[in-house]
């Protein structure tokens, strides 16, 4: 019993000795504690946000951007809450890339929040803000700065915006599914292919009439175990994959 109390005391003291940045990073790494499927407990990620929100270093801003994205996706329960959280992520991302313009990581997580912001605010707000053009420009900048960041994250963002953006003559004439397939394939083949990259590539291939290949990608994805680092994120993508396969088999 004394040994257990001693270990708990040492652990408590080590936490007490951590800086706010270290505490925020630890809470972010433990964000999936207590989660079930796509439903994450609010306490870990809120702890990360509370520790990081008043810091302005590059590392703190990066972890805070990741935290806003995670909270908006997997903790917020309604559209209004999601709007508020992704707005914070959008605003912080704009500030972060202005302060640290050569950090590909900040640009990537800014786009993660911006893309989610556009989904919850809707097509008209996104068009008014010029989200598609911003995402294209920033994705190309990420590729220029660090094409390997987040397993080809710049290629993924560029492919995703080509895939999702509507072709509008004279207004938005650059979206092209061939470009989507090309860039999403580059992302898939850079580093370790992620669950999200796989789902987007499958959707772009299916749109390109490569239906068998698209289905095979999703079937293989569903058979994979969830990762230890991103179980909630991976569960979401497997759920999307299952829904797409059901839809495509009709």
Listed by start position, the domains of the chain span 43-129, 146-250
Considering only residues 250 and 35, tell me which one the structure prediction assigns the higher pLDDT.
35
CA distances from 168 to 22, 123, 127, 171 (A): 46, 13, 11, 5
Q: How large a percentage of the chain has pLDDT more than 70?
A: 94
Cα–Cα distance, 64 to 53 (Å, whole number) = 7
Mean pLDDT for all residues in the chain: 93
Give pLDDT tens digits for 89-107. Answer: 999 999 999 999 999 999 9
- State residue 15's pLDDT score: 53
Give pLDDT tens digits for 197-248. Answer: 999 999 999 999 999 999 999 999 999 999 999 999 999 999 999 999 999 9
- State residue 13's pLDDT score: 52
Give pLDDT tens digits for 168-207. Answer: 887 788 999 999 999 999 999 999 999 999 999 999 999 9
- State residue 4's pLDDT score: 58
Question: How many CA atoms are closer than 13 Å to the CA of 245, on its beta-carbon side?
Answer: 17
What is the pLDDT averaged over residues 31-51? 96
- State residue 109's pLDDT score: 98
What is the pLDDT averaged over residues 12-35? 87
Is residue 83's pLDDT more than 80?
yes
Spatial CA neighbour of 58 closest among 12, 23, 93, 11: 93
pTM above 0.85, yes or no: yes
Spatial CA neighbour of 220 closest among 172, 188, 181, 187: 188
- State residue 92's pLDDT score: 98
Total length of the chain:
250
| Tokens coding 56 | 């302005």
Is residue 85's pLDDT more than 90?
yes
Is residue 9's pLDDT more than 70?
no
- State residue 152's pLDDT score: 98
Q: Dihedral of the CA atoms 209, 213, 217, 219 (nearest 10)? A: 100
What is the pLDDT averaged over residues 40-53? 97
Other Cβ atoms less than 10 A from the Cβ of 124: the count is 8
Is residue 8's pLDDT more than 70?
no
45: CB partners within 8 A, 6+ apart:
27, 28, 31, 67, 70, 71, 75
């Amino acid at each position: 019993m004394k040994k257990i109390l001693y270990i708990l005391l040492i652990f408590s003291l080590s936490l007490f000795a951590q800086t706010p940045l270290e505490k925020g990073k630890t809470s972010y790494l433990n964000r999936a504690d207590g989660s079930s499927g796509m439903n994450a407990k609010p306490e870990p990620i809120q702890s990360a946000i509370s520790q990081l929100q008043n810091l302005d270093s590059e590392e703190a801003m990066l972890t805070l951007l990741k935290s806003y994205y995670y909270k908006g996706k997997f903790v917020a329960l309604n559209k209004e809450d999601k709007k508020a959280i992704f707005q914070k992520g959008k605003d912080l991302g704009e500030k972060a890339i202005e302060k640290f313009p050569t950090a590909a990581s900040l640009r990537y997580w800014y786009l993660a929040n911006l893309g989610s912001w556009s989904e919850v605010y809707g097509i008209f707000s996104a068009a008014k803000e010029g989200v598609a053009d911003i995402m294209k420009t920033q994705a190309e900048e990420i590729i220029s700065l660090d094409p390997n960041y987040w397993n080809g994250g710049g290629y993924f963002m560029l492919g995703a915006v080509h895939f999702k953006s509507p072709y509008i003559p004279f207004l938005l004439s650059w979206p092209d599914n061939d470009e989507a397939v090309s860039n999403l394939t580059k992302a898939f083949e850079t580093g370790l292919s992620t669950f999200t990259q796989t789902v987007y590539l499958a959707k772009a291939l299916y749109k390109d009439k490569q239906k068998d290949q698209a289905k095979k990608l999703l079937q293989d994805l569903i058979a994979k175990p969830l990762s230890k680092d991103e179980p909630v994120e991976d569960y979401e993508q497997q759920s999307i994959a299952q829904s797409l396969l059901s839809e495509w088999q009709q």
